Amino acid sequence: MRDIKFRAWNDKLEEFCYAGPKESDFEGFGIFFDWVERWNLPLMQFTGLLDKAGKDIYEGDIIQWHNKCYGFWICGYVKYEKDNACYFVIDQHETKNYLWYGINEAQFEVIGNIYENKDLLDTK
């Protein structure tokens, strides 16, 4: 079973705040979600996937990987879509790439996020 973890972007502090379960401690989740709701902060969930360096991949992360099938690099941000019930990587051309596409290749690399490094989407 994957870890259930969340993060929220705090614009005033210009940093992420994280929440995840500690052994049988769900009180922290309640406090975190109250805070997120009160300040209307964007909430992002952990995808359950790790990049090639072992870093957690969250919604809003900017990732890149080499598509070995087609021989080119893909760079975009991670987004969950309820209608499709899955995570996508949306590139600079608004093309949707399923996040699980390259899982077996273990080539995903988190290079930033849409709050601190949005410019990475313009240059890749």
Domain ranges of the chain: 6-123
Which two tokens mark 91? 């590139």
pTM of the model: 0.84
Query: Does 124 score more than 50 pLDDT?
Result: no
Decide which of 3.20.140.10, 2.60.40.1220, 2.30.30.290, 3.40.190.10 is the CATH code for 6-123. 2.30.30.290
Which one, of 60, 62, 73, lies nearest residue 102 by Cα? 73
Q: Rounded to whole angstroms, how far apart are CA atoms 72 and 33?
A: 40
Q: Which of 3-7, 22-26, 98-102, 112-116 has the lowest mean pLDDT?
A: 22-26
pLDDT band of 23, cuts 50, 70, 90: very low
Mind listing the pLDDT tens digit for each residue in 26-73? 566 777 888 888 888 999 999 988 999 999 999 999 999 887 777 888
